[in-house]
């Protein structure tokens, strides 16, 4: 690796195998690693291209080598600004999400307890508006500091400007325009607990917590996630590979009429979200394996790499799943990770 300048490095023809949690052995034309956010403009000048930004690589599938440049955000730092009713915390994009979430709980802040153990970096959290157990990160984001590659300047986007939706934001819709450098959270010391998501309240009761605190809710979420979701440190995966489909009410009701046990959640007045996991399981894909590409036997939303699967093989299996659900239910599933 060439130390091009303090603050960042650039490596030619670099392996991405350890930079994507699906553990695909793809290569990038160049791999830049940024350690000092203030050097980003110089780094972009030197690259002369708009790079693909990766944090932990927990939401991408490389279907082959990447012909462009990849930028790894390895920036760190947390700035705390305490006000009377709310504490603002600016977190560098390269911090690990779970470390930050756990730290916030240890400081007595409430809110991120349902979101612990989600893989990825803080800078990636707003891109797909990470969510779990009925809570989405958007609720806690006050603003985002980003580099706007269109204007070549720093942009501050407030929460409304981020246009957050279910696993969605402006950063997904205007792909590659913004490079998130820091996220500013607004956290409080108290917030009503969100316990209504299937299984959470039961898990808390099972653990014997009669008066749960955010910290204890986080413990229950940890148990639930560990039971259901394969750990990317142990087996290659990118969390939910498919998004739950949000359908017009009439279409969802037709599916529910023939599958009354299908988990569903209302979205506004005229849409319904169905469980993609259950749709996939019903089509018989849970636990299938083609070579080293597979669908987790524990959770049908999770595409897994048992070892040496290529990105092409993983994508072929994912497409088989998408086609199978489409044929049986007439519902098109969208992948959650970015397919490259
Ligand atoms: N289900 C099945 N079969 C399966 C998997 C799930 O029938 O193979 C059923 C479950 O029994 C349950 C329902 O589907 O009744 C929902 O399952 P789960 O609670 O696991 O939630 P999910 O909707 O499948 C979403 C998120 C997860 C998040 C969980 C918990 C999406 C795409 N996924 O999954 O997020 O952890 O809720 O809140 O929205 C991620 O985005 O990477 C991720 C893991």
Q: What is the CA radius of gyration of the chain?
A: 20
* Cα dist from 285 to 59, 268, 315, whole Å: 21, 30, 14
First-to-last alpha carbon distance for the chain, in angstroms, is 24
C-alpha of residue 277 to centroid of ligand 1, in Å: 6
Only one residue has tokens 């246009």, namely: 163
At residue 254, what are phi and psi to the nearest 5 degrees? -65, -40
CB distance 281 to ligand 1 below 6 Å: yes
Only one residue has tokens 């300047």, namely: 153
CB distance 129 to ligand 1 below 6 Å: no
C-alpha of residue 85 to centroid of ligand 1, in Å: 34
258 is catalytic: no
What letter would DSSP give residue 166? Answer: T
Q: 172 CB contacts (<8 Å, ≥6 apart)?
A: 127, 128
C-alpha of residue 79 to centroid of ligand 1, in Å: 33
CB distance 168 to ligand 1 below 6 Å: no
* 3-state secondary structure at position 266: strand
Q: Nearest to residue 25, comparing CAs of 34, 13, 16?
A: 16
Q: Of the residues 58, 169, 240, 310, which is catalytic?
A: 240
Query: For position 5, what pLDDT does the model report?
Result: 53
Q: Nearest to residue 307, comparing CAs of 234, 227, 230, 225?
A: 234
CB distance 248 to ligand 1 below 6 Å: no
Cα 176–Cα 181–Cα 185 angle in degrees, nearest 5:
115
Q: Of the residues 23, 30, 102, 167, which is catalytic?
A: 167
Query: For position 55, what pLDDT does the model report?
Result: 87
C-beta separation of 170 from 161 below 8 A: yes
Mutate to test the pocket of ligand 1, among 197, 275, 300 (most ligand atoms within 8 A of CB): 275
* Statement: the pTM of the whole predicted model exceeds 0.75: yes
CB distance 119 to ligand 1 below 6 Å: no
C-alpha of residue 303 to centroid of ligand 1, in Å: 13
Query: For position 6, what pLDDT does the model report?
Result: 73
Query: For position 104, what pLDDT does the model report?
Result: 96
Give the residues across from 186 on adjacent strands. 88
Q: Of the residues 145, 203, 219, 336, which is catalytic?
A: 336
Q: From the CB of residue 107, how many other CB atoms can be counted at a distance below 10 Å?
A: 12
Q: Encode the chain (340 residues) as per-residue pLDDT tens digits.
A: 445 557 999 999 999 999 999 999 999 999 999 999 999 999 999 999 999 999 899 999 999 999 999 999 999 999 999 988 899 999 999 999 999 999 999 999 999 999 999 999 999 999 999 999 999 999 999 999 999 999 999 999 999 999 999 999 999 999 889 999 999 999 998 899 999 887 899 999 999 988 899 999 999 999 999 998 999 989 999 999 999 999 999 999 999 999 999 999 999 999 999 999 999 999 999 999 999 999 999 999 999 999 999 999 999 999 999 999 999 999 999 999 999 9
C-beta separation of 273 from 244 below 8 A: yes
30 is catalytic: no
Q: What DSSP letter does each residue of 102-151 carry, written as one string?
A: HHHHHTT-BSGGGGTT--SBGGGTTTTT-EETTEEGGGGEEEEEEEETTT
* Cα dist from 78 to 87, 90, 191, 322, whole Å: 12, 6, 22, 41
* Cα dist from 98 to 77, 88, 117, 165, 186, whole Å: 15, 18, 5, 22, 17
């Amino acid at each position: 690796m060439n130390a091009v300048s303090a603050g960042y490095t650039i490596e030619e023809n670099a392996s991405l195998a350890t930079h994507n949690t699906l553990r695909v052995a793809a290569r990038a034309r160049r791999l830049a690693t940024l350690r000092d956010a203030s050097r980003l403009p110089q780094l972009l000048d030197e690259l002369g291209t708009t790079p693909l930004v990766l944090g932990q690589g927990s939401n991408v599938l490389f279907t082959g080598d990447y012909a462009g440049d990849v930028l790894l955000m390895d920036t760190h730092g947390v700035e705390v600004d305490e006000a009377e009713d709310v504490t603002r915390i600016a977190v560098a994009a390269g911090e690990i999400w779970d470390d930050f979430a756990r730290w916030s709980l240890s400081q007595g802040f409430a809110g991120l307890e349902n979101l612990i153990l989600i893989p990825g970096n803080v800078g990636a959290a707003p891109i797909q508006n990470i969510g779990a157990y009925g809570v989405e990160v958007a609720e806690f984001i006050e603003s985002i500091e980003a580099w706007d590659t269109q204007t070549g300047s720093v942009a501050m986007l407030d929460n409304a400007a981020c246009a957050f939706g279910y696993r969605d934001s402006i950063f997904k819709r205007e792909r590659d325009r913004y490079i998130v450098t820091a996220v500013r959270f607004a956290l409080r010391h108290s917030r009503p607990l969100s316990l209504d998501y299937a299984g959470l309240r039961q898990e808390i009761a099972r653990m014997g917590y009669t008066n749960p605190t955010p910290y204890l809710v986080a413990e229950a979420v940890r148990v639930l996630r560990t039971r259901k979701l394969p750990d990317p440190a142990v087996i290659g995966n990118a969390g939910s590979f498919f998004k739950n489909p949000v359908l017009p009410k009439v279409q969802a009701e037709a599916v529910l009429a023939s599958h009354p046990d299908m988990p569903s959640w209302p979205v506004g007045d005229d849409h319904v979200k169905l469980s993609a996991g259950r749709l996939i399981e019903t089509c018989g894909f849970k636990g299938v394996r083609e070579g080293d590409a597979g669908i987790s036997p524990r959770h049908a939303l999770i595409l897994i790499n048992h070892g040496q699967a290529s990105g092409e093989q993983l994508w072929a299996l994912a497409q088989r799943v998408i086609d199978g659900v489409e044929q049986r239910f007439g519902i098109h599933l969208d992948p959650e990770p970015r397919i490259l």
